[in-house]
A and B are shown apart, each in its own frame.
Chain A
Amino acid sequence: MKLEVYINSIGSVSVQKTFDDSGFLDEVVDYEGTSVKAVDPTYRDYIPPAAARRMAKGLKMSAVSSHNALKEAGLDNVDAIIVGTGLGCLGESEKFVRDLLDNDEQYLTPTRFIQSSHNTVAGSIALDMGCKGYNFTYVHSNISFESSLWDAKLQLENNEAENILVGAVDELVEHHVTTHQFIDHIKKEPVSREQVLRSGTKGIVFGEGSHFFVLSNQKQDTTYSRLIAMGIYNTLKKEEVSDTILVFLHTNGLTLEDLDGVILGINGDVDFDTIYQDLANGIFQTIPQFVYKHLSGEYDTASGFGFWMANKIFKTGKVPEVIRWNDIKVSQPKRLLLYNQYRGKNHSLVVLEKC
């Protein structure tokens, strides 16, 4: 008998003021650019100065979002920590490489190298709270977070753990942005928050953020939703996407009619948004459609923002205007499908149900 998987708490630091959990996208942060940074909380409120002095941005953001998630769940410790990150604390890796090249491999310091380990966030959180349990880090581009979710789901369903802290984090780094502009993965021309998803140009606006959640097989007062089903596909031909989604729903005993909304990873890259558009005009045509990457920016774990948003929708019962993609209205949605892909690869499907 498989146990249920609940999302019991959320924590987020992002381009929006999500670290403050009191509202839900009430004031939207606007921008105009090709990359956009996270809104920083007052890190000193969360991290002792002695600890903060060696912390990369990804670590700091994660200290806040993981702290908020644990606090809301009422936990001091968990049975496992699973983190997804496309590139880890990339800023430190970049500085280490720069130092290495500029100084001909001399006078390099260990801190930057240590923080360059992809698992430094999961390891540091474990160290801070003294969590000796299972500790994994997934680093597979834009399914890093979904791989973490899947792993947690397996453990909770099989009762191998009761509470798992699952996270998603990536940081914005100059070298990464500039070089990816060369190859049109990131937009060359600045674009505004309002325009980005309909920009009609190549590439995306790069963002950053950290999103943590406590997943559990025990429902409690704070519970947001239930994780019903997941799918991950490394590659799909454009024409296979619709059928794959229909088969996925069918395999999990669901139909399109069961969905009160779909959250799409549309990111404003003219070359690859057609995959979403085909769905929006096709199998999802009669379903309310929501978007978020104009609010979060695009990065490997931006889907963590989408996951945060889905849970906020359930908890508040509200659907902010700023996330609506089509005109079909819905109030108090009960079941949402999240679909994401990046550059036509690493497709993920997640179904959440309100609790």
Chain B
Amino acid sequence: MNQGVAITGMGLISAIGNNVADNFASLISGTIGISKISRIKTVHEHEIMVGEVPLTNGELEKLLGLPADSHSRTPLLGIMAAKEALAQAEIQDISEYRTGLISGTTVGGMDKSEQYFYDFYERDLHWNHINSLHAGDSTQKIADAIGLTKSFVTTISTACSSAANAIMLGARMIKSGELDRVIVGGSDSLSKFTINGFKTLMILSDTYNTPFDEHRKGLNLGEAAAFLILESDAIVSKENKKVLAYVKGYGNANDAYHQTASSENGDGAVMAMEKALKVAGITPSKVDYINAHGTATPNNDLSEGRALLRVFNENVPEFSSTKPFTGHTLAVAAGVEAVYSVLSIQNNVIYPNLNFKTPMTEFNLVPETQLKNKEIKTVLSNSFGFGGNCSTLIFTKEA
């Protein structure tokens, strides 16, 4: 009944690596990707820290064999990750099965739209970017780059839980037999729009983010793209595929409390975790590691911490937030952390919650601060977004 959906490939590009292997190496060696902002010119450059992908658009286009200035950054990052995932799953013919692509993004092509907002009126040099503000345009460009035609291709935007919801929909479509294979995840690039938006909410830290710490000052924005390949059991057995891990549980709920903030007691988060555990058919005690949302805003970490205590009845397993490594990569945070969850299962390792010093006064929750080896069979990963959107995914070693 509670059969998981097989993951057969992964791709990831973030501030701590251009591929999955480099990301894992950084996680293990404690190499962070947070720095002063360099790629975007902003008046806030001295007041914020970010997790930037080091490659420029030009370098990405060169790597991908695309014409210069043909794409906004979101699809460029997305194509990198999607291609890596397809390669790992050893998929040569993308149209061999009923294949879908579901991507999460918040900004789409906003980086180009804001750059050329007035320029569009002056000259026709950058008119190729006029229609790229559409979130769906970035997904279609990823589909084009991997040769996916005549297929179910869609985009989800539920703020910072988008990629979790993309993975959830993909798993549901495989389970219902609507698709045989689906590429799920997300892509989001940094933009002035996002930086200034979060700035108005006064939740950006001027230094390294410190999840679950009493003195946390807010989040660091990041950018990334991450995709997973999900395949039906029929394909897995027919092609004798190597399965990396399974999407075992998923749940989405709405906090219905505030437009941007989470409720005091994390009602939505509790419901999302409980739904995911129910879909997975497991009790909380089976969870070996929690990859927390842990953005390091005062509000999130308090709300999420309380929700963890409610779901796990004071027996919260080892948990950590990996956002001190990557920053908060918004729509794709759950995609990045899905890859990290699978790597945790494959390598039996728990990542450190860097920068943590002082437990919060409201409760006695202390994240793992050191790299730890432990047999990991089940990982729970949380992602919460604006609009009260709360999502939980559960990944397992066994189906």
Task: Tell me the A residues contacting B by CB distance below 8 Å.
Answer: 81, 86-88, 93, 96-98, 100-101, 104-106, 108-110, 113-114, 116-120, 122-124, 126-127, 129-141, 143-144, 147, 151, 154, 157-158, 175-176, 178-180, 182-183, 185, 232-236, 240, 244, 300, 345-346
Closest to B159 in A: A117
Verify B150–A244 contact, CB threshold 8 A.
Answer: yes
Closest to A180 in B: B130
Verify A182–B254 contact, CB threshold 8 A.
Answer: no
- Please give, as numbers and ranges, the residues of chain B lying within 8 Å of A179 by CB-CB distance: 120-121, 130
17 A-B interface contacts by CB (under 8 A): A105-B44, A105-B196, A114-B201, A118-B106, A118-B135, A122-B158, A131-B254, A132-B255, A135-B388, A136-B156, A137-B387, A139-B108, A141-B134, A180-B130, A235-B143, A240-B150, A345-B140
Closest to A232 in B: B152
- Please give, as numbers and ranges, the residues of chain B lying within 8 Å of A138 by CB-CB distance: 154-157
- Write the nearest CB–CB distance from A179 to chain B, whole angstroms: 5
Residues in B364-399 with C-beta less than 8 Å from chain A: 385-389
- Please give, as numbers and ranges, the residues of chain A lying within 8 Å of B150 by CB-CB distance: 233-236, 240, 244
Partner of B389, one of A114, A135, A185: A135
Verify B386–A101 contact, CB threshold 8 A.
Answer: no
Check A131/B130 contact, CB under 8 A, given A140-B135, A182-B124. no
- Write the nearest CB–CB distance from B118 to chain A, whole angstroms: 7
Q: Is B286 an interface residue (CB 8 A)?
A: no
Check A96/B197 contact, CB under 8 A, given A105-B42, A105-B192. yes
Verify A137–B152 contact, CB threshold 8 A.
Answer: no
**Binary A-proximity of B134-147 (CB < 8 A = 1, otherwise 0):** 11110110010000
**Binary A-proximity of B83-94 (CB < 8 A = 1, otherwise 0):** 000000000000
Verify B131–A185 contact, CB threshold 8 A.
Answer: yes
Residues in B80-129 with C-beta less than 8 Å from chain A: 101, 105-106, 108, 110, 113-114, 117-118, 120-121, 124, 127
Apart from A119-B157, A139-B155, list 12 A-B contacts with CB within 8 A.
A101-B118, A123-B259, A124-B387, A126-B254, A126-B388, A132-B253, A134-B252, A138-B157, A139-B108, A144-B136, A157-B176, A183-B127
Q: Is B258 an interface residue (CB 8 A)?
A: yes
Partner of A134, one of B124, B201, B253: B253
Check A139/B156 contact, CB under 8 A, given A104-B43, A127-B388. yes
Partner of B165, one of A109, A132, A136, A183: A136
Check A96/B154 contact, CB under 8 A, given A113-B201, A131-B254. no
- Please give, as numbers and ranges, the residues of chain A lying within 8 Å of B152 by CB-CB distance: 232-234
- Please give, as numbers and ranges, the residues of chain A lying within 8 Å of B311 by CB-CB distance: none
- Please give, as numbers and ranges, the residues of chain B lying within 8 Å of A136 by CB-CB distance: 156, 158, 165, 169, 252
- Please give, as numbers and ranges, the residues of chain B lying within 8 Å of A87 by CB-CB distance: 133-134
A26 to B387, CA, bound (A): 38
Verify B388–A182 contact, CB threshold 8 A.
Answer: no
Closest to B165 in A: A136
- Please give, as numbers and ranges, the residues of chain A lying within 8 Å of B143 by CB-CB distance: 234-235
> What are the 5 tightest A-B residue pairs by CB atom distance, in nearest-first order?
A123-B387, A113-B197, A118-B157, A140-B136, A234-B153
Q: Is B56 an interface residue (CB 8 A)?
A: no
- Write the nearest CB–CB distance from A219 to chain B, whole angstroms: 22
Check A120/B387 contact, CB under 8 A, given A86-B136, A180-B131. yes
A185 to B132, CA, bound (A): 13
- Write the nearest CB–CB distance from B113 to chain A, whole angstroms: 7
- Please give, as numbers and ranges, the residues of chain B lying within 8 Å of A236 by CB-CB distance: 149-150
Q: Is B199 an interface residue (CB 8 A)?
A: yes
A135 to B157, CA, bound (A): 11
Verify A114–B260 contact, CB threshold 8 A.
Answer: yes
- Please give, as numbers and ranges, the residues of chain A lying within 8 Å of B385 by CB-CB distance: 119
Verify B201–A110 contact, CB threshold 8 A.
Answer: yes
Q: Is B268 an interface residue (CB 8 A)?
A: yes
- Please give, as numbers and ranges, the residues of chain B lying within 8 Å of A97 by CB-CB distance: 113-114, 117, 193
A182 to B121, CA, bound (A): 8
- Please give, as numbers and ranges, the residues of chain A lying within 8 Å of B114 by CB-CB distance: 97, 100-101
Partner of B259, one of A96, A127, A134, A234: A127
- Write the nearest CB–CB distance from B271 to chain A, whole angstroms: 6
Check A108/B196 contact, CB under 8 A, given A100-B114, A119-B387, A131-B256. yes
Verify B254–A234 contact, CB threshold 8 A.
Answer: no
**Binary A-proximity of B39-52 (CB < 8 A = 1, otherwise 0):** 00011100000000
Verify A154–B117 contact, CB threshold 8 A.
Answer: no
Closest to A231 in B: B152
Residues in B175-195 with C-beta less than 8 Å from chain A: 176, 178, 192-193
Verify A135–B386 contact, CB threshold 8 A.
Answer: no
Partner of A119, one of B139, B159, B200, B255: B159
- Write the nearest CB–CB distance from A85 to chain B, whole angstroms: 8
A323 to B243, CA, bound (A): 52
Q: Is B151 an interface residue (CB 8 A)?
A: yes
- Please give, as numbers and ranges, the residues of chain A lying within 8 Å of B135 by CB-CB distance: 118, 139-140
Residues in B250-281 with C-beta less than 8 Å from chain A: 252-260, 267-268, 271
A126 to B150, CA, bound (A): 34
Verify B201–A132 contact, CB threshold 8 A.
Answer: no
A131 to B140, CA, bound (A): 32
- Please give, as numbers and ranges, the residues of chain A lying within 8 Å of B172 by CB-CB distance: 154
- Write the nearest CB–CB distance from A76 to chain B, whole angstroms: 13
Q: Is B148 an interface residue (CB 8 A)?
A: yes
Q: Is B360 an interface residue (CB 8 A)?
A: no
- Please give, as numbers and ranges, the residues of chain B lying within 8 Å of A134 by CB-CB distance: 252-254
Verify A130–B256 contact, CB threshold 8 A.
Answer: yes
Partner of B256, one of A93, A114, A119, A132: A132
- Write the nearest CB–CB distance from A130 to chain B, whole angstroms: 5
A170 to B159, CA, bound (A): 18
A236 to B153, CA, bound (A): 12
- Please give, as numbers and ranges, the residues of chain B lying within 8 Å of A346 by CB-CB distance: 136, 140
A325 to B143, CA, bound (A): 34
Closest to A178 in B: B121
Closest to B133 in A: A87
Q: Is B173 an interface residue (CB 8 A)?
A: yes
- Write the nearest CB–CB distance from B109 to chain A, whole angstroms: 11
Check A147/B154 contact, CB under 8 A, given A98-B117, A108-B196. yes
- Please give, as numbers and ranges, the residues of chain A lying within 8 Å of B136 by CB-CB distance: 86, 139-141, 143-144, 346
Verify B43–A119 contact, CB threshold 8 A.
Answer: no
Partner of B193, one of A100, A182, A232: A100
- Write the nearest CB–CB distance from B272 to chain A, whole angstroms: 10
Closest to B192 in A: A100
Verify A123–B196 contact, CB threshold 8 A.
Answer: no
A96 to B113, CA, bound (A): 12
- Write the nearest CB–CB distance from B334 to chain A, whole angstroms: 14
Verify B155–A140 contact, CB threshold 8 A.
Answer: yes
Check A96/B253 contact, CB under 8 A, given A119-B389, A235-B149. no
